[in-house]
Chains A and B, each alone.
Chain A
Amino acid sequence: MKLNRRMFIGTGAAAAASLSAPPVIGQARPRVVVVGGGSGGATAARYIARDSEGAIHVTLVEPSRTYYTCYFSNLYIGGFQNYDDLGHGYGGLATNYGVNVMHDWAIGVDRDAKTVTLAGGSSLPYDKLILSPGIDFVEGSVPGWSIADQDVMPHAYKGGTQAQLLKAQIMAMPEGGTFAMIAPPNPYRCPPGPYERISMVAHALSQNNPTAKILLVDPKPGFSKQALFEEGWLKHYSGMIERIGPDFGAENVSVDPAAMTVDIDGMIEEVDVCNVIPAQKAGRIAELAGVTEGNWAPVNPADMSSRADADIYVLGDASQQGDMPKSGYSANSQAKVCANAVRGALTDSRVFPARYSNTCWSLIATNDGVKVGATYEPTEEKIAEVDGFISQTGEDADLRKATYEESLGWYAGITSDMFG
């Protein structure tokens, strides 16, 4: 069966109808359900639908009508991006590739019956299920803070309005006020993310509130691209940023959202803005599906299938795969390997060996971009790094500018690779 992509325009209604109706002619089209329309899920849905040219029925379950990327949300806080430009709709996936997009929450997976239950009541049968739900926060990891406090002490570590709230709070800080960040313990999404955020907050403050202070409370002894960030902070924001590491009590931190204080090993700091980035775990649906071990979902390095269930794949942040950092780039890379494997399993398309890669750019100040990247391959026990590179300290301004411009190219590239 070879169908033209265009025949699928508006299949949403037809597909919904066919859910209850038994297949009429011959064998039913195999069904793939994708939970989560982010970096991993949108990419997987698009590639499977596009490349199977209608031979596979793809349903994408995602509560939001617009996906706001976390990537570049720090640049928005720094004033380098518009908020609206971070948003991407699902219309292209539906009309161009025939993906059946359902704006709903998945609340359960029955692995025996092979169905996914949605909050709205529907039950979706699947032959292959792809979970790319991103992260959830570990309760109690920052004592004093719970998700109910996110309007007072935002995390801004999931896409959307949290970044707007954090930015508004920063802009409203009193002159000479204090911005605090509680950085997360490993592993968490986007290893350089908190430090890029510190850079962007420093940039925004140096423009509007140059006597303000930044307090970075970090439970980790070291962090991603540390030498590059510290060089940049010294160069652009000298005297503004104080980092308190585990040697000075950062492992023993709690917050009081009502009083707007941070308690660092008994030392109480009054702060004006407090960005709490808690410890992280796989999005809850992975746990409900029973594919997690501890906080994450272990997967087979060759195709991202769950170690617990061959018909479930886990992509992106939620997966535990080995050496790849939890990033949008990684999720997108994993999704393409998974899409190739899923198509191969459900149709007779060719399956090629897995290959993964990642690059993360970070902006430190105006036109001062840095990057780190690596390629990866599957081994028996994990996805293992093959080769990598990182920007060097002391690079000249032209190279840093070109690196920043590359990141703009990447953003345009990956978002069109996800949403078409």
Chain B
Amino acid sequence: MAWRRLTRGATRALALMAGVTTGAAKADLPGDAEAGKDLYAVCSACHQVGVNARDRVGPHLNGIFGCRAAAHEGYRYSASMERAGTDGLVWTFETLDAYIENPRALVSRTRMSFRGMHDPEDRVNLLAYLQKYSDSAANAHEAQPKAQPVADDLDPAILDIEGDAEYGEYLATECLTCHKADGSADGIPSITRWPEEAFVIVMHEYKNKVRPNPVMQMMAGRLTNEEIAALAAYFSTLR
């Protein structure tokens, strides 16, 4: 149910994003850190930045750029975030953008109960603000790329593709070598009963290497948009 809400937002955001990225002039705009400061208010309910920042409800966000996910000693992350970090998820513009837009699409069972920030321009601005608190960025301004919209994001039309569930059933045979059909999970997460849209977003995040894990990046890497839609259609029917 939470997914429905999140993914409707994600769809809208994706539509907006397509608008931003097609405007060639706008695509290079660095974020506005001033505007980002105001937007940060929503995060500050749970996170701290700046001098004396500590881990509170959420971990502090100093030095987050270039940092591995779930890297703060002593902070209790969710198992999903730990796993993402172990798999090699590193916070960059791209991954932060995806996480803030829709936390669960990137890290399936993250404890960060935040609806997501759907306006891509807001996210760029917010990230420009946060970047100021990342050491590497502060010290090496030239080396770090400026916050800017992520160029190759999902075309919203991808979410509208009608999946061929029968083809999906065939394609899914490849997945069932690792993911058990009965939905149980030991060592590899279950993938049955996902809402179609969420499933599509997640698969594209592996395909685009936003989500870590070499096995899944490879599996998703050769799937076409139609094939991902077909898989989503099939898996959503599994009971």
- Indicate if A386 sits at the interface (CB-CB under 8 A): yes
**Most chain A Cβ neighbours within 10 Å, of B177, B182, B188:** B177
Interface residues on B, range: 20 to 34
Per-residue A-contact encoding for B191-226, CB less than 8 Å = 1, 0 else = 000000000000000000000001101110110000
> B179 to chain A: which residues have CB within 8 Å?
413
Closest to A404 in B: B187
Query: Assuming A350-B166, A402-B83, A402-B86, is B219 touching A410 (CB within 8 A)?
Result: no
Residues 80 to 98 of chain B near chain A (Cβ within 8 Å)? 83, 85-88
Per-residue A-contact encoding for B151-190, CB less than 8 Å = 1, 0 else = 0000000000000001100110110111111101111100
Residues 127 to 175 of chain A near chain B (Cβ within 8 Å)? none
Task: Give the dominant DSSP class at A's interface.
Answer: helix
Q: Is the CB of A399 within 8 A of B187?
A: no
Stretch at the interface among A101-109, A298-306, A371-379: A371-379
A257 to B21, CA, bound (A): 72
Q: Which of B87, B182, B186 contacts A409 (CB 8 A)?
A: B186
Give the distance to chain A from B74, nearest Cβ to Cβ, in Å: 16
Stretch at the interface among A58-66, A282-290, A351-359: A351-359
Stretch at the interface among A22-30, A262-270, A328-336: A328-336
Q: Is the CB of B219 within 8 A of A417?
A: no
- Indicate if A254 sits at the interface (CB-CB under 8 A): no
- Indicate if A380 sits at the interface (CB-CB under 8 A): no
A374 to B219, CA, bound (A): 9
**Most chain A Cβ neighbours within 10 Å, of B173, B179, B182, B184:** B173
Q: Is the CB of B178 within 8 A of A387?
A: no
> A357 to chain B: which residues have CB within 8 Å?
174, 177, 218-219
Q: Is the CB of A355 within 8 A of B174?
A: yes
A386 to B218, CA, bound (A): 10
Give the distance to chain A from B171, nearest Cβ to Cβ, in Å: 8
Q: Is the CB of B177 within 8 A of A414?
A: yes
> B171 to chain A: which residues have CB within 8 Å?
352, 355
A410 to B179, CA, bound (A): 7
> B167 to chain A: which residues have CB within 8 Å?
350, 352
Q: Is the CB of B178 within 8 A of A413?
A: yes
> A389 to chain B: which residues have CB within 8 Å?
214-215, 217-218
Give the distance to chain B from A120, nearest Cβ to Cβ, in Å: 33
Q: Is the CB of B187 within 8 A of A416?
A: no
Q: Is the CB of A336 within 8 A of B186?
A: no
> B176 to chain A: which residues have CB within 8 Å?
413, 417
Residues 323 to 375 of chain A near chain B (Cβ within 8 Å)? 329, 332-333, 336, 340, 350, 352, 355, 357, 359, 371, 373-375
Q: Is the CB of B222 within 8 A of A410?
A: no
Q: Is the CB of B215 within 8 A of A399?
A: no
Query: Assuming A357-B174, A402-B87, is B218 touching A375 (CB within 8 A)?
Result: yes
Closest to A356 in B: B174
Q: Is the CB of A409 within 8 A of B218?
A: no
> A340 to chain B: which residues have CB within 8 Å?
170, 173
> B87 to chain A: which residues have CB within 8 Å?
399, 402
Q: Is the CB of A410 within 8 A of B178?
A: yes
Residues 368 to 418 of chain A near chain B (Cβ within 8 Å)? 371, 373-375, 386-389, 398-399, 401-402, 405-410, 412-414, 416-417
> A352 to chain B: which residues have CB within 8 Å?
167, 170-171
Closest to A390 in B: B214
Give the distance to chain B from A360, nearest Cβ to Cβ, in Å: 11
Closest to B176 in A: A417
> A409 to chain B: which residues have CB within 8 Å?
178, 185-188
A71 to B166, CA, bound (A): 32
- Indicate if A188 sits at the interface (CB-CB under 8 A): no
> A414 to chain B: which residues have CB within 8 Å?
177-178
Query: Assuming A374-B218, A398-B86, A412-B180, is B187 touching A405 (CB within 8 A)?
Result: yes
- Indicate if A47 sits at the interface (CB-CB under 8 A): yes
Q: Is the CB of A408 within 8 A of B187?
A: yes
Query: Assuming A402-B83, A410-B178, is B221 touching A387 (CB within 8 A)?
Result: yes
> A413 to chain B: which residues have CB within 8 Å?
176-180, 188
Q: Is the CB of B215 within 8 A of A373?
A: yes
Give the distance to chain A from B48, nearest Cβ to Cβ, in Å: 26
Q: Is the CB of B222 within 8 A of A375?
A: yes
> B186 to chain A: which residues have CB within 8 Å?
405, 408-409, 412
Q: Which of B166, B215, B217, B222 contacts A371 (CB 8 A)?
A: B215
> B85 to chain A: which residues have CB within 8 Å?
398
A416 to B222, CA, bound (A): 25
> B184 to chain A: which residues have CB within 8 Å?
412
> A408 to chain B: which residues have CB within 8 Å?
186-187
A371 to B217, CA, bound (A): 14
Query: Assuming A406-B187, A409-B186, is B177 touching A329 (CB within 8 A)?
Result: yes
Give the distance to chain B from A341, nearest Cβ to Cβ, in Å: 11
Q: Report 27 cross-chain contacts, Cβ distance below 8 Å, ordered by A residue.
A: A47-B173, A332-B177, A340-B173, A352-B167, A355-B222, A357-B174, A357-B219, A371-B215, A375-B221, A375-B222, A387-B221, A387-B222, A389-B214, A398-B85, A399-B88, A402-B87, A406-B188, A406-B215, A408-B187, A409-B185, A409-B188, A412-B180, A412-B187, A414-B177, A414-B178, A416-B181, A417-B177
Besides A352-B167, A405-B186, A413-B178, 12 other A-B contacts (C-beta < 8 A): A333-B177, A355-B174, A371-B215, A373-B218, A375-B222, A398-B86, A399-B88, A402-B86, A409-B185, A409-B188, A410-B178, A413-B179
Q: Lowest 5 CB-CB distances: which A-B pairs, in order?
A: A409-B187, A409-B188, A389-B214, A405-B187, A408-B187
